[in-house]
A and B are shown apart, each in its own frame.
Chain A
Amino acid sequence: MMTPDTPGPSVSPQPQYVPGQAPPRVIPDAELVWTDEEAAQIETFRAQYPTPDGAVMKTLWLAQRKWGWLPPETMHLVADTLGVPYAKVYGVATFYTQYFKEEKGTFVFDVCTCFSCQVCGGYDMLHYLEDKLGVVKGGTSEDGLFTVQEAECLGACGSAPMLQVTNGPYVHNLTEAKIDQLVDALRQGAELPFESVTLPQDGDEMGGNRRTDAQAVETYQTPPVSDTIH
């Protein structure tokens, strides 16, 4: 039986860190530069805060979007760009779970299993994804496309169970069929639509979703996905 604290073995090989030696570089020096546009963005970030430290989180996000994850050399780049000690940047990057300190698959599935999702079958969805992709949570599939992770509450309890794709779009009201569709769509390179969960009161008073520029999703009125908890 899976338990929440079972560590998942990582499928993709991680660089070996030897104490006393600099870790192997992942990104060559030539690629470790900001484009002019990014440099301008970082200047905007700096202007938004009275101290350069304030811009660290936004610059780390920028780096992660650019390189997909945050190997140490990108943290050094962020520190040098902002004139902030590396230790501070490292401290911030390692504190927050959404900054990836390890290489992940192209798509990262953060499956919410916190209690509202748990009681609606969040673990069933997580295990279904694990079985489907042949990975244990925390690991990456062999083709390097998908990483499956267990996430803490993602703030979509009304449309539980749900998952988030690579710190981006939410996919609500998961079922096994919906996961199948999602994986197929991502394999084919499809853009995920923004799913707007219809407020139940909007459904009654306005006959559906109030946003005309989003893909409406009903909060489901079907029987629960699962009665089991783990």
Chain B
Amino acid sequence: MADADTLLTGQSKAGDWRSFERVILPPVRDLHKIDVYEAEADGYKALKDVVRDGKFDPKGLTDEVKASGLRGRGGAGFSTGLKWSFMPPVDPDKPRYLCCNGDESEPGTFKDRQIFEYNPHLMIEGIMLAGYAMTIKTCYLYIRGEYDDYIQHVQRAVNEAYDRGYIGKNILGTDFSMDLVVHAGAGAYICGEETSLMNSLEGRRAYPRIKPPFPAQVGVFGMPTTINNVETLADVPLVVNRGADWFAGIGPEKHPGPVLYGISGHVNRPGVYEYPTGMLISDLLEVAGGARGGKRIKAVVPGGSSTPPLTWAMAEPTTMDAETLREAGSSMGTGGLCFLDEDTDMVSFTRRIAHFYHHESCGQCTPCREGTGWLEKCLARIDEGNGHTRDLDLLLEVCDQMEGRTVCALADAAAWPVRWGIKRFRDEFEAKCRPTAFASGALGGDGATEQTGELTPTGVPTT
């Protein structure tokens, strides 16, 4: 089946990943302390080189990041350098903002938490470099409210960096000044969406905004704003220190770089692993210790709850990069993989995802507010054994009415796992539905009659 044009070759695109040395979370004890970070991990060297010694001017730094091929690690996978270049020219009367998105509420995703916990200074250095590249004076670091312990860790690291003069006025004796404000969320998944994150920072309900205008034109507090994920910004000092060519040489050409894979579910050694992009999903299963109890893996969610689940047959030849996963019928998302073994009930699983989106829909757009509720109700009915096979088509119809009809992508994110869950595991869904009553002659739940076998709109026999 492997023809020349397919990316699903079953070959790893991660190169020599077994000898890959971790760079985002290098194996250094107590790396979260600024002394250790400076002494043993070239800490703040990139910032000194760029800001003090003029290794790059702002435009040069943006071009270097563009050349590295770094793509956002928050889910959408947009080119980071390109995003930075969308910022309008500096207007001295207009403040500009950088937001670092550490909301990380996507179920199955827990990679940024490891950066907060183990290497916060790398992220802070990346934030400062991004601020320099876009001539920004204030960065808001948005961390979800549940990460209370980690917010304190990060705040401590920020205070240390302020004390050493890496943040604040006249950084390293230059005329570049920038502040970093840590902002705690309070438990809302939607805040990970960039425009609702901005509303949350402004002290409002976190309703997403209609785009355009894009944040680069009208962002937080009405000013030009760039929003990057925590892991994306943590990659920036690595690009500066080791060069764009080094970064671009890791993993597949179109989606390069080291990446944190959060592996959860039915594996022996779940956790966050750092490897190049383009890892085979089956290799990741192997490094995570294989399936628990020697069972067979049935399904994989490749990048957080909103990415369509793959059957194992589909996942096996697939590598973890945006292009290949798109061809396989899913998406890279945040790189949070959840492996599900053969005993998993896909109906209950899909129902739980629908419950999540119902709970987290912000309620601004009708298709999402109502649709997520109907998805959950309908799936609950099927899960409890009261559903009918026609409910599956009803679910798909509700999905049709949700996708692409709302301000933000939450409705799409809610619909995809349901749509593709039903399409790819339809036999499991049907097995839980009430059988039609063709054989018994009684009026079945499907409204089908023995005589015609046809559905009527009201479920009443036509005869």
**Contact in complex: B263, A158 (CB < 8 Å):** yes
Q: Smallest distance from the beta carbon of A133 to chain B beta carbons, Å?
A: 22
Residues of B within 8 A of A54 (CB): 201-203, 221
Query: How distant is the Cα of A156 from the Cα of B359 in the complex, in angstroms?
Result: 19
Query: How distant is the Cα of A152 from the Cα of B459 in the complex, in angstroms?
Result: 37
Q: Which of A73-112 contact B (CB under 8 A)?
A: 84, 88, 91-92, 95-99, 110
Contact with A119, one of B118, B201, B349 (Cβ below 8 angstroms): B349
Contacts known (A115-B353, A155-B144); A224 close to B117, Cβ less than 8 A? no
- Give the interface segment out of B121-129, B159-167, B181-189, B390-398: B181-189
**Contact in complex: B204, A88 (CB < 8 Å):** yes
Contacts known (A53-B202, A95-B205, A115-B353); A200 close to B271, Cβ less than 8 A? yes
Query: How distant is the Cα of A153 from the Cα of B301 in the complex, in angstroms?
Result: 15
Nearest 3 interchain pairs by C-beta: A53-B203, A96-B186, A98-B187
Q: Which of B181-226 contact A (CB under 8 A)?
A: 181, 183-189, 200-206, 221
**Contact in complex: B107, A113 (CB < 8 Å):** no
Q: How many inter-chain residue pairs (CB < 8 Å) link A and B?
A: 218
Is B28 in the interface zone, CB < 8 Å from A? yes
**Contact in complex: B274, A212 (CB < 8 Å):** no
- The interface of chain A, by Cβ under 8 A from chain B, is 1, 3-5, 48-58, 60-61, 84, 88, 91-92, 95-99, 110, 113-116, 118-120, 152-160, 164, 167-170, 194, 196-202, 205-206, 210-213, 219, 221, 223-224, 227, 229-230
Residues of B within 8 A of A199 (CB): 25, 114, 118, 271-273
| 15 more CB-based (< 8 A) A-B contacts, given A57-B184, A156-B113 | A4-B380, A53-B202, A58-B183, A61-B184, A84-B203, A96-B185, A115-B107, A152-B107, A159-B271, A169-B148, A200-B273, A210-B29, A210-B118, A221-B269, A229-B344
Residues of B within 8 A of A53 (CB): 202-204
Query: How distant is the Cα of A96 from the Cα of B221 in the complex, in angstroms?
Result: 20
Query: How distant is the Cα of A116 from the Cα of B264 in the complex, in angstroms?
Result: 6
Is B235 in the interface zone, CB < 8 Å from A? no
**Contact in complex: A211, B32 (CB < 8 Å):** yes
Find the A residue at minimum CB distance from B206: A95
Residues of A within 8 A of B352 (CB): 4, 113-115, 118, 229
Residues of B within 8 A of A152 (CB): 105, 107, 189, 356, 359-360
Residues of A within 8 A of B289 (CB): 200, 221
Residues of A within 8 A of B32 (CB): 211
Contacts known (A98-B146, A155-B113); A56 close to B203, Cβ less than 8 A? yes
* Residues of B in contact, count (CB < 8 Å): 80
Is B428 in the interface zone, CB < 8 Å from A? no
Contacts known (A96-B185, A115-B305, A210-B30); A153 close to B105, Cβ less than 8 A? yes
Find the B residue at minimum CB distance from A168: B148
Query: How distant is the Cα of A1 from the Cα of B269 in the complex, in angstroms?
Result: 31
**Contact in complex: A196, B147 (CB < 8 Å):** no
Is B145 in the interface zone, CB < 8 Å from A? yes
Is B27 in the interface zone, CB < 8 Å from A? yes
Is B52 in the interface zone, CB < 8 Å from A? no
Is B437 in the interface zone, CB < 8 Å from A? no
Can you list 24 A-B pairs, Cβ within 8 angstroms, ordered by A?
A: A4-B355, A5-B380, A49-B201, A49-B203, A61-B145, A84-B203, A95-B188, A96-B187, A98-B146, A115-B301, A119-B338, A119-B340, A119-B349, A152-B189, A154-B146, A155-B104, A155-B147, A157-B110, A157-B270, A158-B263, A159-B271, A199-B25, A205-B27, A212-B29
Contacts known (A99-B186, A158-B272, A205-B27); A88 close to B384, Cβ less than 8 A? no
**Contact in complex: A155, B105 (CB < 8 Å):** yes
- The interface of chain B, by Cβ under 8 A from chain A, is 22, 25, 27-32, 95, 104-110, 113-114, 117-118, 144-149, 181, 183-189, 200-206, 221, 262-266, 268-274, 287-289, 292-293, 301, 305, 336, 338, 340, 343-345, 348-349, 351-353, 355-356, 359-360, 362, 376, 380, 384
Query: How distant is the Cα of A159 from the Cα of B270 in the complex, in angstroms?
Result: 7
Residues of B within 8 A of A159 (CB): 270-271
Query: How distant is the Cα of A98 from the Cα of B200 in the complex, in angstroms?
Result: 14
**Contact in complex: A98, B108 (CB < 8 Å):** no
Residues of B within 8 A of A211 (CB): 29-30, 32, 117-118
Residues of B within 8 A of A160 (CB): 264, 270
Query: How distant is the Cα of A87 from the Cα of B232 in the complex, in angstroms?
Result: 37
Find the B residue at minimum CB distance from A4: B355
**Contact in complex: B108, A55 (CB < 8 Å):** no
Q: Smallest distance from the beta carbon of B168 to chain A beta carbons, Å?
A: 13
Q: Smallest distance from the beta carbon of B325 to chain A beta carbons, Å?
A: 19
Query: How distant is the Cα of A3 from the Cα of B288 in the complex, in angstroms?
Result: 32
Residues of B within 8 A of A202 (CB): 25, 27
Residues of A within 8 A of B384 (CB): 1, 3
Contact with B106, one of A98, A153, A206, A227 (Cβ below 8 angstroms): A153
**Contact in complex: A118, B188 (CB < 8 Å):** no
Query: How distant is the Cα of A152 from the Cα of B108 in the complex, in angstroms?
Result: 11
Residue in A52, A58, A119, A198 whose Cβ sees the most chain B Cβ within 10 Å: A119
Contact with B266, one of A3, A57, A224 (Cβ below 8 angstroms): A224
Q: Smallest distance from the beta carbon of B339 to chain A beta carbons, Å?
A: 9
